[in-house]
Amino acid sequence: MFIDHPLIKKDSVELRDYQVALSRSAQERNTLVVLPTGMGKTIVALLVIADVLLKKKGKVLLLAPTKPLVEQHYGFLKNFLVGKKVAVMTGEVSPEEREALFIENDIIASTPQVVANDIKNGRFTLKDVRLIVFDEAHKSVGNYAYVAIAKEYKDYGGLVLGMTASPGSAKEKVREVCTNLGIDNIEVRTEHDPDVAKYVQDVKVDFIEVELPREIRKATSVLSSLYETYLKQLSRMGFIQDSDRVSTKELLALGNNLSARLKAGEKSKRIYQALSTNAMAIKVEHAIVLGETQGGSALQAYLERLRTEAESDDGSKASRAIVETEQFKAVTEMMENIKVEHPKLSRIMGVVSRQINENPGSKVLVFTHYRDTCDLVAGKLSKIDGVRVAKLIGQAGRVGDKGQKQKEQVGVLQQFRDGEFNVLVATSVGEEGLDVASTDLVVFYEPVPSEIRSIQRRGRTGRRSAGKVVIFVTKGTRDQAFYYSSLNKEKQMKSRLLTLKNELDPQKDEEKGPHQELAKGQRSIFDF
């Protein structure tokens, strides 16, 4: 059965009750739709867009974080909408042309930065926009361009639709997203909801534990002693309470706080010393993570980068101090004699080889956190018979590596969909939003501590048929900590959102905004 709508191509969109229900709710109030990856958030947006254009006239703005994702939405809307003009606006389009495109078209798919800049420079206003769709809405925090656009749009009272697979586990983060976008309604569906479950394919998750080679463990142990020295210094100075329990997130927050204090004029020797010590701790911990989760090559490459930075004229004081320590010298000497690689490499070759040999038509997606590892894994997998491998990496360039322009990313994804490649090794650029094609196997080279990223990675399989996820974990290392951190955050997120879904009063006075006082017994969307 298909959707029957005057503005949607006939017999093109399957009718799913949960998508229709979500779209109806989103047409009535500013709504955040939380729906698992692969379950059709874009279809929900299509239904809302079609109805808004039919009933309210005016324009629709669909925003997405990257050009490839914007191009993807543009292609989708062009394919399924009828009788309406759709345009793409990105930084590659000149300001004058963007101004004309905005005037001439009914729907504009765009990156948020160009819209924010064009509004600021008076090229157009949002007064004729009846709906803004914020894809990957969890980005609507801090100084991200979504925030400025939504603030400007509130003056015009138009409709807002936020879409995400994972808004995050922290209630403060969800509250900030909703406040910034003017959201006063949250709609949640999980794989377990009755109206969704019948469309969910089975996804089997396997964990493969590996032992860290003794030689690498010895090197990371020496680095750990240096790391602990820096933490104890920060503790003695009163900047952290317990040097045994401090997290990377807390160190990063401390660095930001110290930098802000210096910027505000608090230029004491104690602050400078703490900032430098904190930077040393972060750098050494990063080296430990690389050794434990990525292997000898990654650790050796990072140590060499630290040495190069220390020797350069504009190198940081922290790098120079680290390089001068006995621990750094000892580990550098150790790494020169270590030939063993991380056992994940051979195991991942076995997993991918088995998948391709048993199912030659398979598509496999391998995620790595670091670009060096992406290069290493792609090189190893390319040696397997039957494997045609490509890389998907970000735009940022560095010495000896130009990165991939967004046009190149789009090309790689299309070649993967078309079957020219059957294995894609991707960094985080492959996690968010992009239609990476239906994959039979998703491999995590390492767990990620973010529940948002973990959900997005897993969602790349099991879309049209049963899928499999394999997660590699190195015993007794930060891999295990990252995995359990992500798992706990995901449980918290689902628990909070499901509680909110069940407890929100559907009869809440629609005239009251999220900050206005509610009648006794009613619940705000922030009461979780």
Angstrom CA distances, 103 to 150, 295, 450, stand at 20, 54, 40
**Is residue 525 one of the residues assigned to a domain?**
no
Q: Say if CB 31 and CB 161 are below 8 A apart.
A: yes
In the three-class reduction of DSSP (H, G, I as helix; E, B as strand; rest coil), residue 139 is classed as: helix
Range 255-293 burial, b when 16+ CB lie within 10 A, else e: beebeeeeeeeeeeeebeebbbbbbbbbbbbbbbbbbbb
- 312 and 368 in a single domain? The answer is no
The residues pairing with 131 across neighbouring beta strands, listed in sequence order, are: 60, 159
Phi and psi, residue 261, nearest 5°: -65, -40
In a domain, 135, yes or no: yes
Q: Does 401 reside within a domain?
A: yes
List the beta bridge partners of residue 439.
461
For 396, the domain range is: 203-211+342-484
Contacting residues for 251 by C-beta, under 8 A, at least 6 apart: 278, 281, 282, 285
Give the pLDDT confidence score for residue 337 in this predicted structure. Answer: 84
Say if residue 398 is in the same domain as residue 371. Answer: yes
Residue 430 lies in a domain: yes
Mean pLDDT, consecutive 10-residue stretches, the chain (528 aa), reads 94 93 94 86 96 93 91 93 95 93 96 96 95 96 96 95 83 86 89 81 87 94 96 94 82 94 90 95 96 92 93 90 96 89 94 95 92 93 96 74 81 90 88 67 89 71 74 93 84 70 48 36 33
The rounded radius of gyration (Å) of the Cα atoms in the chain is: 25
What gap in Å lies between CA 181 and CA 131, rounded to an integer? 12
Q: How high is the pLDDT of residue 465? A: 64
118 and 167 assigned to the same domain: yes
Domain check: are 316 and 350 in the same one?
Answer: no
Entry field: residues in the chain: 528
With tokens 């010590």, the residue in question is 277
**Residue 419 belongs to a domain with what CATH number?**
3.40.50.300
263 and 357 co-located in one domain: no
Q: Which of 165, 198, 231 is the last residue of a domain?
A: 198
For the entire predicted model, the pTM comes to 0.74
Please indicate, yes or no, if residue 446 is contained in any of the structural domains.
yes
Q: In what order do the strands lie in the sheet with 467-474?
A: 203-210, 467-474, 441-444, 364-367, 423-426, 389-392
Instruction: Count how many Cα atoms sit within 13 Å of the Cα of residue 343 in the half-sphere of its side chain.
Output: 14
**Whether residue 414 is found in the same domain as residue 479:** yes
Distance separating alpha carbons of residues 511 and 526, to the nearest angstrom = 17
- Token digits for 136? 């990957």
CATH number for the domain spanning 274: value is 1.20.1320.20
Report residue 503: phi and psi, to 5°: -100, -15
Rounded to whole angstroms, the Cα distance separating 519 from 509 reads 9
Look at residue 495 and tell me if it is in a domain.
no
pLDDT at 154: 94
Find out whether 484 and 148 touch, Cβ atoms under 8 Å.
Answer: no
DSSP category for residue 184: -
Query: 56 and 77 in one domain?
Result: yes
Q: Domains in the chain: how many in total?
A: 3
For residue 504, being part of any structural domain is answered with no
Round to whole Å and give the CA distance between 124 and 115.
Answer: 9
